[in-house]
Chains A and B, each alone.
Chain A
Amino acid sequence: MSDLRNAGKYYWHYLKKYWRGFILSAVLIGISTWCIVVAPTYLGRAVEALTTYLDQWLNPATRAQASLGTFNHTLVIYVLLYVGDAATIFMAGLILARVTAHSTGTMRVGLFRKMQRMRVKYFDTHSDGDILARFTSDLDNIFNAMNQALMEVLLAVAQFVGILIVMFNQNVTMAWVTMASTPVALIIAALVMRKAGTAVNQQQDDIGQLNGYINEQITGQKVLITNGLQQDSKRGFDKYNQRVRQSALTGQIWSGILNPLMQGMSLLNTAIVIFFGSWLALNGSLSKGAALALVVVFVNYAQQYYQPIMSLTSLYSMIQLAITGARRIDEVRDQPDEVNPVDGGRPDGIQRELKIDDVHFSYLPGKEILHGITINVQRGEMVALVGPTGSGKTTVMNLLNRFYDVDSGQITFDGVDIRTFDLKALRQNVGIVLQEPQLFTGTIADNIRYGQPEASMDRVIAAAKQANIHDFIESLPEKYATQVSDEQSIFSAGQKQLMSIARTILTNPRLLILDEATSNVDTVTEAKIQAAMDNVIQGRTSFVIAHRLKTILNADKIVVLKDGAIIEQGSHEALLAENGFYAELYRNQMVFD
């Protein structure tokens, strides 16, 4: 039931702004229901008029007066009522279709917006495919349900209210009798819906996992093929696929049997009305004839009374999917946002110094990765971070950009804790070339100007030249207009890194971070862009992580990290003289014997 409450809140959130549309369509549907209720009486009157006409016509004495005028007249009203019904239903349909499409659109964009606000940690620990399933499966289910159920719900409510009014106007006792089985129906419905809710929740979660598996495996198809893992991958897939089959079967069955059950209840109710009505006719205060006529009428009502319930329950499996969809999307909406201070300061580069002050950090509680890191950087200095793999270099970078926040200690720009800055303003000051480059669907030019979409073509080309990728781009048939995407890029691994460098150069950041930015680039090209990079780095505060020590020889300061702690610090010459860990690293790499 808490799912139901949640779903209620969720839809209220997204639908409340369409209240005018809902009221208007409710009114329209009310009118249409009225038309539908009234129209049959006109058919009755038409038949009556026809009977009179026939009688008169058959009687030679009155044949002259016999006229079809009343009959025709009534029939026209009958048809007009249905025109009214069609027109109002059509208008209500248009309004609701619009509401449905736009509100699901808002939900979709809302979910994406939320995604953009969430912490990096969420993405590091959740499967992409499962998140994607919320966009493609859950939102699609919500759309389908709203597309069909909104109208039905309103119609059902109108019909239900209509029939109640009519019934109580006729006879209060019989009205109560007709409603007598309702609590039983409600209890059955509640029980079934509870089962169905759990089952459909399970079903959608399993579909999410299946989606996650497929997405990850197909994204890694190259690994599967080159290792001959296709059979193995199929086996893994079968497990998820069968699990979905099982849980979806349970889900579909539970949500599907509600309708036949209610159909049965409807017949049962009719029987009750018949038996109780006849008993009443025999023992009641009404005259027998009137009582019997009443029973006949109420047998009809009993059927109409269950009609709205049945049309709703026939859509129930869709509705349940929409309730579950709301829950799954809410799960994401409940994730914590990145912490962004209100009225945060806007740093203007680093005027004096950047300080990493006794920083402790752990990705997982209890497993500390950085154990008290302290680094002071003066404005315009280039600091190199070196150390064995896994020592925490990338982690330090993650903290500077606030992808993650420190456990204790602080990072300051000119003495101001970066956590007090506006998050976006901070990141605008920090340019980072990530260890693993990532391109986006679009042209090459779009990718280079990714950080500043309004940048001119001249700047794009200048950045590409500095990153030494211009010549390659020019060799492509469509040059800068070539369409690329991350998976179908026409770049080699090194070229992709060069693109990534060009992209960062273009944004001209105040603090530059290069995390193994050229690890896949050959050393000749690297040497060529070194000059350009030197230019870029010149006068800019920068952090450079590199295993190829050649690229960091000019650093003002080299910091050696090992197992999350700083073990050496100083210039290249000083560290060589120290003849410690760094000197050993350097000899390993640079000396060809």
Chain B
Amino acid sequence: MKILMPYFKRYHVDVSIALLSVLVLVFATLWQPRLLQVVMTAIIKNDQQTVLREGILLLGLAVLGIAGGVINTIYSARVALGVATDLRADMYAKIQSFAYADVETFSASNLVVRMTNDINQVQQIVMAAFQQITRVPLLFIGALILAIVTMPEQWWVILVMMLVILLASWVAVRRMTTYFAETQQDIENVNTVTRENLMGIRVVKSFVQETNEISKFSQASDQLTAVTAKIGYWFSILMPIFFLTANLAVGVAVYLVGQNITAHPAYLAAITSFVAYLMQILYAVINGGFLMTFASRAFISIGRISEVLVTQPSMTYVASEDETPLTGEITFDHVTFTYPGDTQPTLRDISFKTTAGAMLGIVGATGSGKTTLAQLIARLYDPDSGHIMIGGVDVRQIPEKRLRATVAYVLQRSTLFSGTIAGNLKQVRPDAQVSHMQWAANVAQASEFIERLPQTYDAPVEERSQNFSGGQKQRLAITRGIIANPEILILDDATSALDARSEKLVQEAMDRDLKSTTTVVIAEKIASIIRADQILVLDAGRISGSGTHQQLLQSNPIYQAIYQTQKAREEAVK
């Protein structure tokens, strides 16, 4: 709850208006029965004057009530949406400050649910709070005072009634809190299975696993159904208990009045109004009770939201807005790295150095740690020990913007975001003109197909760049990587889906147009790195050899083996 306070403060004007209009509403609610009473007495007395006067007052009260209600709705909605929107924005900002490992820990699917469903719970309870909760105590206190004044001896009946109702609510709230926590968890599971099926729909279909996926989903869904049914059962117990308690209280009170009526004959006349007040107390308590149970769902959600908000990013950057790129020199000094949660290091004692503008090739078996190494340059993770330096500065000392301005990283499985091609390119380089885009696309050999699209650079991109072929996606990703003309360009197997000819053209264009850029090329194909100034051969997380193609061919057995598998069957073809 505490985390919501600053947000309410931000909307203090709306909050005040919403609360004031509740007062108007309560006034209208409490005043109306009295007014009716007067009117009816007047009718019975056949006092036309009073009927007319009070009747018009009643109409005025109706208008006042409508105004109060409408204003209350508008301002409650403003507060609720203001709080929800800001909370969501802060949560998103927080997630965007996370290190990649933090996102992995929470998992994307989980974060999405928290940002939508959980925020929605909070929004609803805030709305209800300003429409109802503030009204409840006022009505409750009013009725309580009147009831006790009417029959002071019966105070304990009221007390017992309230205690029973509160006890029932307390038990229910405790139960429901666990159920609501389960609900949110189950919604998350449903979301995970669905999301996975959306992403892997081709796999599901090609393996004809629809039926199994449905039963997997049903399991997740049935859990949700079971817990929601339990919540429903608790609700259905609660309401009758409330009413029964109140009516028993009425029965007991009347019975007691009856037994002692000879001592207090005056109470005979008070029974009706006492019952009315008891009922008003009951309605207030019931409303409060229900709001508490709803609030218990919102509290769970608030907890889940603050879990995200209080998480400190596991990686921090030195504070500075410096964006001037560093030089493209990369140094690894005895770097060892273990993935969070792993026991064995993935990279061991890696040391190498490249000069600015050089080309560094990295080869090695699948799972030998090539991507991991590249991720350390881009500081997706920090090493356990050792130092990584870019332009002579330890990466941990480089401000974030400066690092990103220096290093461009084309991921192994890279996709564009939905929107347009130009939109994606402009994200990386906001001032990009068509000429820049053309230049970058030319280098990446992407202009060949982009320019054949009817809308060229404004062509739509679907989620996961699904409307492009594998090789087209990669070339678009490379285009995005180079458009800002970075000092360091990392290509992680970024040409694996390119045909040999396109790949060769990419290399030639990069040699020509990105001369001063340090390029780190991870590749399975020797042809991709054969011209590198230095090639690292990785083997199970260690550097097994380093040097030029010729040197490695002489000295490194792993490199030789890789080379052997790629030599043409017909060496003669020239």
Contacts and interface: CB of A to CB of B under 8 A. Distances in A.
A245 B85 contact: yes
Contacts of B271: 43, 47, 50
Interface of B is mostly: helix
B206 A427 contact: yes
Contacts of A521: 366, 524
A99 B557 CA distance: 69
Contact of B212 (A401, A453, A472, A592): A453
B117 A140 contact: yes
B149 interface: no
Give the interface centre of A125, A229, A267, A585 by most chain B CB atoms within 10 Å.
A267
Nearest to B44: A292
Interface in A279-304: 281, 288, 292-293, 295-296, 299
Interface string A503-522: 10001000000001001111
Contacts of B371: 492-493
8 contacts: A46-B258, A222-B380, A225-B378, A275-B51, A388-B471, A516-B470, A547-B498, A585-B501
B493 interface: yes
B154 interface: no
B258 A586 contact: no
A389 B236 contact: no
B195 A296 contact: no
Nearest to A85: B243
> In which size bucket is the chain A interface?
35 or more
B361 interface: no
A443 interface: no
Interface in A513-542: 516, 519-527
Contacts of B562: 522-524
B500 interface: yes
A210 B288 CA distance: 33
Given A101-B232, A267-B32, A486-B200, A451 B209 contact: yes
B296 to A, nearest CB: 14
Interface in B519-574: 524-527, 530, 558, 561-563, 565-570, 573-574
A253 B74 contact: yes
A410 to B, nearest CB: 20
B275 A43 contact: yes
A576 B573 contact: yes
A388 B501 contact: yes
A271 interface: yes
B244 A210 contact: no
Contact of A47 (B39, B195, B262, B268): B268
Nearest to A51: B268
A112 B200 contact: no
A326 interface: no
B163 interface: no
Interface stretch (A4-12, A171-179, A213-221): A213-221
Contacts of A109: 214, 217-218, 221
Interface in B65-89: 65-66, 68-70, 72-74, 76-78, 80-82, 84-85, 88-89
> In which size bucket is the chain B interface?
35 or more
B417 interface: yes
A79 B251 contact: yes
Interface string A50-93: 11011001100000000010011001001100110111011011
A182 interface: no
Interface string B220-260: 01101110110111011101110110011011001101110
> Would you list the 10 A-B pairs with minimal beta carbon distance, nearest first?
A260-B69, A389-B471, A93-B236, A97-B232, A228-B404, A494-B366, A105-B225, A590-B568, A101-B229, A589-B500
Interface in A201-249: 207, 210-212, 214-234, 237-238, 241-242, 244-245, 248-249
B235 A97 contact: yes
A135 B365 contact: no
A215 B524 contact: no
Interface in A544-585: 547-550, 553, 576, 583-585
Nearest to A133: B116
Contacts of B275: 43
Contact of A112 (B81, B217, B462): B217
Contact of B66 (A224, A264, A436, A495): A264
Contacts of B123: 248
Nearest to B523: A522
A141 B407 CA distance: 45
A436 B265 CA distance: 88
B191 A234 contact: no
A147 B294 CA distance: 12
Contact of A98 (B62, B213, B229): B229
B475 A389 contact: yes
Given A120-B205, A226-B411, A267-B65, A234 B501 contact: no
B8 to A, nearest CB: 16
Contacts of B475: 389
B190 A129 contact: no
Given A58-B265, A100-B232, 11 more contacts: A75-B251, A82-B243, A230-B96, A260-B65, A271-B55, A274-B39, A292-B43, A389-B499, A492-B371, A585-B500, A590-B569
B436 interface: no
Contacts of B96: 224, 230-231, 233-234
A411 B254 CA distance: 87
Interface string A412-436: 0000000000001001101110111
A390 B469 contact: yes
Contacts of A223: 411, 414-415, 417
B224 A105 contact: yes
Contacts of A113: 214
A211 B116 contact: yes
B225 A230 contact: no
A96 interface: yes
B159 interface: no
B236 A472 contact: no
A586 B569 CA distance: 10
Given A214-B92, A220-B415, A245-B85, A585 B499 contact: yes
A525 B84 CA distance: 52
A549 B370 CA distance: 24
B113 interface: yes
Nearest to B244: A86
